[in-house]
Amino acid sequence: MGLRLALFFTENVSLESWQADGLLERDRLLYDKLSALGHEITFVTYGAPDDGRFLPLDSRIRVLARPEGVTRAEYGKRIWQIHGAALRGMDLFKAHQVTGARYAAYASLRLGKPLIARCGYLPSVFQAHAGAPARQRRPYRAGRIPEFSSGAGGLCAQRGRDQLPAPTLSGATPQSLRLPQLDRY
* 23-81 residue pLDDT tens: 999 999 999 999 999 999 999 999 999 999 999 999 999 999 999 999 988 999 999 99
Task: Quickly state the pLDDT bin for 101 (edges 50, 70, 90).
Answer: confident
The C-alpha atoms of residue 185 and residue 180 are separated, in whole angstroms, by: 10
Contact 97, 10 (CB under 8 A): yes
- Angle between helix 101-111 and 72-82 (nearest 10): 30
Digit-coded pLDDT (tens) for 118-166: 765 555 565 665 666 666 555 544 434 333 333 333 333 333 333 334 4
Q: Which tops the pLDDT comparison, 61 or 101?
A: 61
pLDDT at residue 109 greater than cutoff 90: yes
> Which residue type does 5 have?
L
Domain 4-139: CATH superfamily is Glycogen Phosphorylase B; (3.40.50.2000)
- For residue 176, what pLDDT band results from cuts at 50, 70 and 90? very low
Separation CA 45–CA 143 (nearest Å): 30
Please, which residues bridge with residue 155 across strands? 150
Going by the DSSP 8-state scheme, the letter that residue 101 receives in this structure is H
Spatial distance between the Cα atoms of 4 and 183, rounded to a whole number of angstroms: 20
d(CA 121, CA 101): 12
Alpha carbon distance 62, 42 (integer Å): 5
pLDDT, average across residues 155-181: 40
* CA within 13 Å, CB half, 85: 0
C-alpha 61/C-alpha 35 separation (Å) is 7
CATH 3.40.50.2000 positions along the chain are 4-139
Contact, 177 vs 164, CB < 8 A? no
